[in-house]
Structure formats: C-alpha cells, structure tokens
Amino acid sequence: MQVEVLNGVNLNELGRRDSAVYGGLTISELETRIYEWANELGLRARCRQTNHEGQYVEWCHEALDWAEGIVANPAAWTHYSYAIRDALELFTVPVVEVHLSNVDEREEWRRYSVISDLAAKRIVGKGADGYREALLFLAQRR
C-alpha cells in the first residue's frame, strides 16, 4: 500500500515550536519515524511538507493517481482552507486527519476542522505517535 503523508504550514519549524504542544522532534526526525513505521507495517510512504497552500493542493492532485491512503495534517489550514478540503474530497481512498496537538482542547478557532467530515479517522493530541496510529489504521484497511 502506498501512502502519501502531507504536512502543512509551519510544521517545518517543529523542534523550534513549543515542545509542550508539538513535541520535540524536528520535521526530519518525524519523517524518519514515519518511514520506519511504514516499513514495519509493509507500507510505502512518501512524506511532504509545505508552507504554500497551492502546493499542498497540487500534491493532493498528484496523489490521486497513485496513493492508496492519505495521512493529512494541514496544520492551521485545517481550520479554514476550503481549497485543501476540496482537494482532499476528491480521494476515494481513506484519508486520516492527524494533529500533533490536541486541537480539540486548544483555542476555540482550532476546534473547527473543515476536513473532519472527509476523514475515515481523526487523530489528535498523540504527538508523533498519531502518525503511527494513522499508518496502522491504513494498513488494517488493505
């Protein structure tokens, strides 16, 4: 199973952001773990991160042709980007929404997700382990 892992805005600054909220891993360290977990589960993952909304949408469009599962963390775009929502809505494969922090217990504006109704599963507040849970969920759906 081929899985596209899409990380959004400001996640390239992991390791610099508040570790109490986002954990202490850098984006590179997070991606290394994701690749290791995917390999253990017999999955092939590709990780991507961007600070450009249009690029995130383009990557969704590209993944339509090959991905058999999507792990999506649009970060702040989760709360308002209907462009990303429309791009994720095109998938007929499972989409798992992941957030490092527990967005449901943070500021009021972070509690709303424009993509939650598209997600086969939503994982919040489990740090890097949320990505492992997402991969495991997809592996079990093969």
- Which helix H or strand E contains 83, and what residues bound it? helix 82-89
Q: Catalytic site residue 80?
A: no
Q: What is the pLDDT of residue 79?
A: 95
pLDDT in tens, 19-58: 877 788 999 999 999 999 999 999 999 999 999 999 999 9
pLDDT in tens, 81-132: 999 999 999 999 999 999 998 988 887 877 889 999 999 999 999 999 999 9
Q: Catalytic site residue 22?
A: yes
pLDDT band at 142 (very low <50, low <70, confident <90, very high): confident
pLDDT band at 11 (very low <50, low <70, confident <90, very high): very high
Task: Compute the average pLDDT of residues 4-14.
Answer: 96
pLDDT in tens, 50-95: 999 999 999 999 999 999 999 999 999 999 999 999 999 999 999 9
Of the residues 22, 82, 112, 131, only one is catalytic, namely 22
* Residue 141 CB neighbours (<10 A): 14
- Mapping DSSP onto H, E and C, the string for 4-65 reads EEEECCCHHHCCCCCHHHHCCCCHHHHHHHHHHHHHHCCCEEEEEECCCHHHHHHHHHHHCC
Of 110, 6, 141, nearest to 64 by C-alpha is: 6
Alpha carbon distance 135, 133 (integer Å): 5
Lowest mean pLDDT among 8-17, 55-64, 131-140: 8-17
End-to-end CA separation in angstroms for the chain: 7
Q: What is the pLDDT of residue 18?
A: 77
Of the residues 35, 56, 79, 99, only one is catalytic, namely 99
